[in-house]
Homo-oligomer: A and B are copies of this chain.
Amino acid sequence: VDTIAQLQLVLGPEGVRAPGEISERYLGDWFMRAEPGVRPAALTLPRSTEDVSAILKICHAEGNPVVPQGGLTGLAGGGVPIHNCILVSLERMRAIVEIDPVAATMTVEAGIPLQAVQEAAAAAGLLFPLDIGGRGSCQIGGNISTNAGGNRVLRFGMMRDLILGIEAVLADGTIVTSLNKMLKNNAAYDVKQLFIGSEGTLGVVTRAVLRLFPNPTSLCTALCAVADFDQVYDLLGRARAELGGTLSAFEVMWPAFYRRAIAGRRKVPLGPDFGAYVLIESMGSDQMRDSDRFNEFVERAGEHGVLADAVIARSLSEGLALWSIRDASGDLVKELAPVANFDVSVETGRTGAFAQECGDRLRARFAGAAAICFGHLADSNLHIFVTAAVRPFPEREIDEIVYGCVRDWGGSISAEHGIGLVKKPYLSYSRSPAEIAVMKALKAALDPRGILNPGKVFD
């Protein structure tokens, strides 16, 4: 109660909500909700970096746990409340501080939704390339904290690659302002890296400098069918070499995915019996020349026997129709329920064999189990939907089999969603004891009282 009174003194009555006034939406993310007994002690709604600093100073003095929240679209439970925590929602800190068209940067407060950033960049004739399904609700601070990936990683990188500067508040309320706008800055350690992908456990991000890019003006799309994974890798090498810096997507669909994705469609671009399907996209700055080059690339791959079949989109709408097959994943996961849904990484050249092995292990345990695979192959990122006829649905056992397979293949249990609460039991499958010891040393150095998002990522 004393903590709450102190917070109200600093933030005013409208900046602090008591437990009874906290709406349901703050109690979970897109993947999970807090356990029924869990109640936050308060929700705080800071309006400035100084507010965040004041909140953390109070909580640090009291040893009160703090859970930072962005748009709550996470898929690993990183923003889900723990009992008696002070929630810090950045939703009122949503200003665009500056757009600098020469430096090609945008400086924003952390609570701004991703889509608002995309739109402001577009209005300035530029592109902020990060794009994920939660764009309307997710916030830049959350994108930083989870090192968000999404649809354009192959071309523009993950969130880490799109950040030039960060301001964050440490556990004890210290404000660390590194709002760098320069591409090159080797003045000692790059402190901002600590706050990217650490899921709010090392600091609360309050502002950031984002990199902007020229808007691509050309778009080419093709759907290719190949006989097997050796041809997938061959095609990838050709696409990288021949499309150069314009290659923007190389999405692979396994036959089990493709067949389900086209089920019930009247018009289907390619037959259902090939070994794998690859959606290839390029983005450039010269539609005529880029189209010619793209078409030649597809033709050449055909002449060299790498393709079994292919369709090139002749218009934007034909391109969207091809993408709609890949994007059927959203509906598919609902149709397949109950289903276990994975976001893992394995070395690009071993993806085909990994998927095979993973499916074999699942079927060996559960007759009739299916592993339905698709993914950003060039990014080494594989998504897997697993179904099984057993009831109750053996989610935990399926997790163990899939993550066990990831461990045995030296992959990552999280390509882009993070660890949060959901994947915490499996962290040691992808990280060695020495790596985890370094993480814990960083946590102890920056948050010695352990108040920042405790229980997330690791214990």
Binding site for B on A (CB under 8 A): 100-104, 146-147, 149, 153-155, 157-158, 160-161, 170, 174-178, 180-191, 193-194, 196-198, 202, 213-216, 233, 236-237, 240-246, 284-286, 289, 292-293, 345-349, 376, 378-381, 411-419, 423, 427, 430-432, 434-439, 441-442, 444-446, 457-458
- Chain B residues with CB under 8 A of A438: 170, 176, 189, 191, 194, 446
What 10 A-B pairs have minimum CB-CB distances, sorted nearest first? A245-B245, A102-B349, A244-B285, A445-B445, A182-B380, A193-B193, A184-B415, A214-B241, A187-B430, A182-B345
Contact A181 B347 (CB under 8 A): yes
Whether A348 contacts B246 by the Cβ 8 Å rule is no
Say whether B241 contacts A432, CB under 8 Å: no
Expressed in whole angstroms, the Cα–Cα distance for A378 and B214 within the complex equals 13
**Cα separation A237 to B213 with both chains bound (whole Å):** 10
- Is the pair A186, B197 in contact by a Cβ cutoff of 8 Å? yes
Q: Across the interface, do A100 and B176 meet the contact criterion of CB distance under 8 Å?
A: no
B412 close to A185 (CB less than 8 A): yes
Contact of A184 among B180, B186, B242, B381 (CB under 8 A): B381
| Residue from the list B183, B245, B435 in contact with A153, Cβ < 8 A | B183
Closest to A149 in B: B184
- C-alpha gap A381/B183 in the complex (Å): 8
Q: Closest CB of chain B to A117's CB: distance in Å?
A: 19
Please, how many angstroms separate the alpha-carbon atoms of A346 and B446 in the complex? 30
* Contact, CB under 8 Å: B345 / A184: yes
Q: Which residues of B contact A184 (CB under 8 A)?
A: 149, 153, 158, 345, 376, 379-381, 412, 415-416
Chain B residues contacting A348 (CB-CB under 8 Å) are 102-104, 181-182
Sample of 12 more A-B contacts, CB < 8 Å, known A178-B432, A182-B381, A242-B286: A103-B380, A147-B186, A160-B190, A177-B432, A182-B345, A183-B378, A186-B417, A188-B431, A215-B241, A289-B292, A289-B293, A442-B445
Say yes or no: A187 contacts B241, CB within 8 Å: no
Is the beta-carbon distance between B427 and A187 smaller than 8 angstroms? Answer: yes
CB pair B419 A245 closer than 8 Å: no
Q: Which residues of B contact A157 (CB under 8 A)?
A: 161
**Given contact pairs A241-B285, A285-B243, A100 touches B188 in the complex (Cβ within 8 A):** no
- Supply 26 A–B pairs (Cβ within 8 Å), ascending by A: A102-B347, A102-B349, A103-B380, A104-B240, A104-B348, A177-B432, A177-B434, A180-B412, A182-B379, A182-B412, A183-B380, A184-B376, A185-B415, A186-B197, A186-B412, A186-B415, A187-B412, A187-B423, A189-B438, A189-B457, A190-B196, A193-B193, A194-B438, A243-B285, A244-B246, A244-B286
Instruction: Tell me which residues across on chain B come within 8 A of A194, comparing CB atoms.
Output: 189, 193, 438, 442
User: In the assembled complex, which residues on chain B have CB atoms less than 8 Å from the CB atom of A345?
Assistant: 182-185
- Rounded to whole Å, the gap between the CB of A373 and the closest CB of chain B is 16
**Contact (Cβ within 8 A) B176 A434:** yes
Minimum Cβ distance to chain B for residue A246 (Å): 6
Contact call B102/A236, Cβ cutoff below 8 A = yes
Determine the chain B residues whose CB is within 8 A of the CB of A436 once the complex forms: 188
Distance between A371 CB and nearest chain B CB, rounded to angstroms: 19
Give the distance to chain B from A232, nearest Cβ to Cβ, in Å.
9
Chain B nearest CB, measured from A245 CB (Å) = 3
Contact A432 B176 (CB under 8 A): yes
